Amino acid sequence: MSKRSKALVQEELGVWGSRGVIGHFDHPLSRPWVEFTDKLAPLMAEVVGANEKEVAVMATLTSNLHLMMDSFYKPTPERYKILCEAKAFPSDQYAFASQALAHGLDPTKAILELSPREGEYTLREEDILRTLDEQGSSIALVLFSGVQYYTGQWFPIESITKKAKEQGCICGWDLAHAAGNVPLRLHGWNVDFAVWCTYKYLNSSPGGIAGAFMHEKWNDIERPKFAGWWGHELATRFQMPPTFSPITGVQGFQQSNPSVLALASLLGSLETLKEAGMMNPVRERSLQLTGALEKLLKQSKYFVPASEVLQKYTQSGSTAPGFTIITPAEPSSRGAQLSLLFLPVGSGIMQKVFHTLLSYGVIGDERQPDVIRLAPAPLYNTLEDCENGAKFVEKAMDLL
Ligand SMILES: *Cc1c(COP(=O)(O)O)cnc(C)c1O
């Protein structure tokens, strides 16, 4: 939680308490609630590399994913598939399957999932591009996560988008773990649409408000299909005209009056990010921290290189407690995350290590059945945190 988020939320509680509904229009701190999102859109656009009008701050990630898919996933008998990574975040899997069903399609046929090669944990760019070359004409929508939540792989967004567009596919991105984590250039990369939440690397608060991007080239073509008053032009919104007149672009897709407390909290965190210089310096710091944590973890006596796991555990049946790192070793293919896979898989070691780490004050993220994600977040973690993190992983393994 940023100090600024806390202060801004408290300020808005104060305005609510003193002004009530009037705060929508007349706000003692010059943040009238009806136009609060105008303060957020420019900062958010900077985070994802978009023009201000290509970004909307609205709703929640999965809702935005459905809204965008409803506009952009238009299967035909020849071109109907959704290409995505295997083991995508479950909410996305549910969304893909339900969107396919809504078009009368069998999800097992419509959804094309790419898995890593045998003995590998992450997808190879060449395999993704080859699939697009081979099957592109039957793919309606390419939708990967920018940074994969489980493995931490940062997909090559630019090259996948380029290939998808060459093949005539729509290309969308789920940036839940990428926004605020890695530098993005959605406009320049010619991405069609993207959605993200703000409560991971953007620290907006649990369940905070989400974001959506639609490239401006779509402004005249994709109009909001599920209209709501917040998508209506601000100038006449409160005159309550009977006919919907949407804001041009993705902001026309807004439906409801957003939670001001969620907006205030996000504003605090985005202003903090802005003060730190936005994504380039933050990424530099992130590279340092993640690199340092990786180096320390690899010095552990329990560390097993990913290339040896198959031989040692699957073929030779070792039962020695250990861990490997399944996140790509190449810094340009990852953000501020290392996913530790505890070995042997299915042995329950991960759960024990996770609870010991918590007792030492190391808050990682447990991913059943065998992974702990450690994310040295550059806005608030230090090198000392990385040293402690690695030291306590070692201690927790010693205690097994
Ligand atoms: C966190 C996350 C979600 C969660 O979506 P909400 O609708 O905000 O609950 C969905 N997809 C991905 C890839 C995520 O990382």
Summarised one tens digit per residue, pLDDT across range 232-287 is: 999 999 999 999 999 999 999 999 999 999 999 999 999 999 999 999 999 999 99
Q: Distance between terminal CA atoms of the chain?
A: 33
Q: How far does residue 352's CA lie from ligand 1's centre (Å)?
A: 26
pLDDT for the residue 6: 98
Peptide bond into 369 cis (omega under 30): yes
Strand partners, 246: 232
Q: What are the Cα distances from residue 109, in Å, to 125, 172, 306? A: 23, 20, 32
Residue having the nearest C-alpha atom to atom 10 of ligand 1: 91
Ligand 1 lined by 272 (C-beta under 6 Å): no
Q: Is the CB of 61 under 6 A from ligand 1?
A: yes
Mean pLDDT of 315-336: 97
- CA-nearest residue for atom 13, ligand 1, is 89
Mean pLDDT (whole number) for 30-50: 97
- The predicted model scores a pTM of 0.97
The CA-atom distances, in angstroms, between 36 and each of 96, 209, 341 are: 32, 13, 43
337 Cβ closer than 6 Å to some ligand 1 atom: no
Q: How confident is the model at residue 119, as a pLDDT?
A: 87
Tell me: the pLDDT tens digits for 350-366? 999 999 999 999 999 99
310 Cα–ligand 1 center, Å:
31
User: Quick one: which atom of ligand 1 is closest to the CA of 149?
Assistant: 15
Binding residues for pyridoxal 5'-phosphate: 61-62, 89-92, 145, 174, 177, 199, 229, 257
Characterize the bridge pairing of strands 322-325 and 193-196. unpaired
pLDDT in tens, 113-165: 999 999 899 999 999 999 999 999 999 999 999 999 999 999 999 999 999 99
Burial state string for 224-255 with b = 16 or more CB within 10 A and e = fewer than 16: beebbebbbeeeebeeeeeeeebbebbbbbbb
User: How many degrees, rounded to 5, is the angle at CA 182 between CA 153 and CA 36?
Assistant: 130
Measured in angstroms, how far is the CA atom of residue 379 from the centroid of ligand 1? 21
Specify the ligand 1 atom closest to the Cα of 88. Answer: 13
pLDDT digits (tens, 9 = 90+) for 184-241: 999 999 999 999 999 999 999 999 999 999 999 999 999 999 999 999 999 999 999 9
Ramachandran assignment for 60, one of left (phi > 0), alpha (psi -120 to 50 degrees), beta (any other) = beta
Residue 93 Cβ inside 6 Å of ligand 1? The answer reads no
Tell me the C-alpha to C-alpha distance, in Å, between residue 295 and each of 72, 203, 351. Answer: 43, 26, 23
Beta bridge mates, 173: 144, 194
Tell me how far the alpha carbon of residue 149 lies from the centroid of ligand 1, in angstroms.
Answer: 9
- In the prediction, which pLDDT does 235 show? 95
Residue 214 C-beta-side C-alpha neighbours within 13 Å: 26
> What is the pLDDT at residue 229?
97
- In short, whether 300's Cβ falls inside 6 Å of ligand 1 is no
Cβ–Cβ < 8 Å for 368, 333: no
Instruction: Please give the distance, rounded to the nearest whole angstrom, from the Cα atom of residue 205 to the centre of ligand 1.
Output: 14
* Over residues 304-326, mean pLDDT: 95
pLDDT at 130: 98
Q: Nearest-CA neighbor of 169 among 160, 178, 177?
A: 160
Whether residue 219 contacts residue 252, with contact meaning beta carbons closer than 8 Å, is answered with: no
Q: How far apart are CA 113 and CA 128, in angstroms?
A: 10
Q: Which atom of ligand 1 is nearest to the CA of 92?
A: 11
Residue 357 DSSP one-character state: H
Q: Give the residue, by CA position, lying nearest to ligand 1 atom 8.
A: 61
Sheet arrangement for strand 338-343: 322-325, 338-343, 371-374, 365-367
Q: Is the CB of 181 under 6 A from ligand 1?
A: no
- What is the rounded CA–CA span in Å between residue 186 and residue 95? 22
How much of the chain, in percent, has pLDDT values that exceed 70? 100
